[in-house]
Amino acid sequence: MEKSLLLKRVPFFRELGENEIAALSERAVERTYSKGELLFSEGDECKGLFVVGRGAVKILKSSPSGREQSLDIQMPGTPVAELPLFDGGRYPATAQCVEDSELLFIARRDFESLVRQHPELALAVIRSLGQRLRKMVTLVEELSLKEVSQRIARRLVTLAEARGRKTPAGLEIELPFSQQEFAAQMGTVRELVSRTLGRFQSEELIAVDGRHITIRSFEALEEIAAGLKK
Amino acid sequence: MEKSLLLKRVPFFRELGENEIAALSERAVERTYSKGELLFSEGDECKGLFVVGRGAVKILKSSPSGREQSLDIQMPGTPVAELPLFDGGRYPATAQCVEDSELLFIARRDFESLVRQHPELALAVIRSLGQRLRKMVTLVEELSLKEVSQRIARRLVTLAEARGRKTPAGLEIELPFSQQEFAAQMGTVRELVSRTLGRFQSEELIAVDGRHITIRSFEALEEIAAGLKK
DNA sequence: CTCCGTAGATGACCCAAGTCACGCCCTTGT
DNA sequence: ACAAGGGCGTGACTTGGGTCATCTACGGAG
């Protein structure tokens, strides 16, 4: 059984010993979803905790007119929905698989009794909520106070820092998602992303080839992100 | 000494017994600030936890151009800055007194040792972080997917629900802050707030008299907030 | 009483960004 | 091989909302 292997990868559960992990993986149920399927919808009652094993899960808000704001994308090893699990409320947003995915599901009561036995777990939950809160604060700041081109520049910069490969031509990065998805993360629409990347390219700040982007002037992007330059 | 009285009012510390409260209030330092003073700035290192005793503290982000996005306003009895206290990071935003205020300050190490002795406190922290996170998610949704008039209508509705007084003319509410501040909370500017309230008034949905607002058609406001109507 | 300083109202203007429409390319499935 | 659909590039247009500049009303200080 590899459930326990997955559980051990979750930063969340690092504090637990072998036997707790084993006990937990007894209780955990494996579920598979295909791309596009919903784990739950905003407003649903929270039945338990999900942990991403394979694939990816997007947390999102959507408007009646069909626009979508992505709040976060959970990759393998991350928990989904620890917030409502704790405060007993409903899911504040919708969760959708963006690829075919395998998840572990841990029923609410199982998780609760686990926390009672291991209060240290609460600290891990705090860390996790804290991270999310910081992300949301940053997002609010960008949506409210920054222009779209600034947000895009900022994103390119952070992507480059996180996983850029150095080459003679510059830092190379791979966009990990479609422009549509990129736009949803930045609170704008596909067209603007396309246009802005085009503009950056014509100004020779970047070179675009499909989802493959070479950064030719990291500094200029940083200035745009900071609002010092257009 | 009334420090302990204040501490007992904090939902946060409800779990503590008499002696812990007493011990904590020994350690807590009273500080007074005048209107406009900063408690700390975004990016500062976190020295400890504040608890609002009197007055009010605004948590905000601001842009170089001078615009301001208010994230939250803390009233008496609420803690400020429990997030960086826990994850050890820096303050994610700035805190400013919006009135002359008295606060308690609890040094980081004191709080930490308290949590070690009383792990239940962690659950209280989780509740508090959770609330904030929910607020931020809602804010992101509004900034990204709703128009300004929708946000304003929604706010009037929630204010009315929370503290509206029924009168023959309709529900009456008192705006608890200036239009400037109101705008900062909704991610817009003063002028738009003024104009929108004016429009609502001319459409006879509300009657405005200074900060005193009478809601004449609650339903219409709800429809606007939901985006069903302009 | 008068003088500021702050809060609010309002009109004129401008522009970022969202919408619509279309065309192109590439992949996938039949 | 072809059709169908998804992802992307682009031009044209509209508009919400932010900026600027006044003007007025009110309230406190001197």
* Chain segment B89-140, per-residue pLDDT in tens: 999 999 999 999 999 999 999 998 888 888 888 888 899 999 999 999 999 9
H/E segment holding residue A20:
helix A18-27
User: Beta partners for A78?
Assistant: none
Higher pLDDT, A119 or B53: B53
Residue type for A91, please? Y
- C-alpha closest to that of A136 among B129, B44, B85, B94: B129
In percent, how much of chain A has pLDDT > 90?
A: 76
pLDDT given for residue B1 in this prediction: 55
- The least confident of A16-20, A54-58, A123-127, A215-219 is A16-20
pLDDT given for residue B121 in this prediction: 86
Where are the strands (E) in chain B, listed by range?
A: 29-33, 38-40, 48-54, 57-62, 68-74, 79-80, 94-97, 101-107, 165-167, 170-174, 206-209, 212-215
pLDDT digit string (tens) for A216-227? 999 999 999 999
Which stretches of chain B drop beneath a pLDDT of 50?
Answer: none
Task: Work out the average pLDDT over A41-48.
Answer: 95
pLDDT digit string (tens) for A87-113? 889 999 999 999 999 999 999 999 988
Q: How far apart are CA B191 and CA B53, in angstroms?
A: 33
pLDDT given for residue B124 in this prediction: 87
| In the predicted structure, residue A1 carries a pLDDT above the cut 70 | no
For residue A116, give the chain B residue with the closest CA. B120
Chain A, 111-150: which have a CB under 8 Å from a chain B CB?
Answer: 119-120, 122-123, 125-127, 129-134, 136-141, 143-146
A131/B67 touch (CB, cutoff 8 Å), yes or no:
no
Cβ contacts, strand D, under 7 angstroms = A 175, 178-180, 190-191, 193-195, 197-198, 208, 211; B 65, 67, 147-149, 187-189, 191-192
Handedness of CA B175, B176, B177, B182 (dihedral sign): negative
In percent, how much of chain A has pLDDT > 70?
A: 100
CB contact at 8 A, A111 and A52: no
Task: Work out the average pLDDT over A128-147.
Answer: 97
B143/A144 touch (CB, cutoff 8 Å), yes or no:
yes
